[in-house]
Amino acid sequence: AGRLSLNRLVDLMGAGPARVYGVLGKGRLAAGYDADFTLVDMKKQRTIEESWIVSPCGWTPFAGHRCTGWPVMTIIRGQVAMREDEIIGPPRGAPVRFLEAQGG
């Protein structure tokens, strides 16, 4: 009781934001959608280290925090982009498409 199911978590982190912000082609694994997703080992434990941070500030408030559940692979548009903490290939980012605002 009081915990999210895995299905609800997936909806809150994927389909929900795509729906709320009107993002096209994201939030589902279905024909016509980008095949963007991350595989998470729900038992793997890691401690976050500041040395990983590549943002301009160079720090995180989560340094030293031990996490259970860790990303082990990321797929972007059907291509492996990260496996076991290693970035694979060139950056694969692309502009996000939004639904056009509806006039009233």
Q: Report pLDDT digits (tens) over 88-102.
A: 999 888 899 998 744
pLDDT at 1 over 70: no
pLDDT of amino acid 29:
86
With a CB cutoff of 8 Å and minimum separation 6, the contacts of 34 are: 25, 26, 76, 77
Do β-strands 79-83 and 86-87 pair in parallel, antiparallel, or remain unpaired? antiparallel
Yes or no: domain 6-87 corresponds to CATH 2.30.40.10: yes
pTM of the model: 0.75
pLDDT of amino acid 103:
47
- Phi and psi torsions of 15, nearest 5°: -65, -40
Beta-bridge partner residues of 41: 70
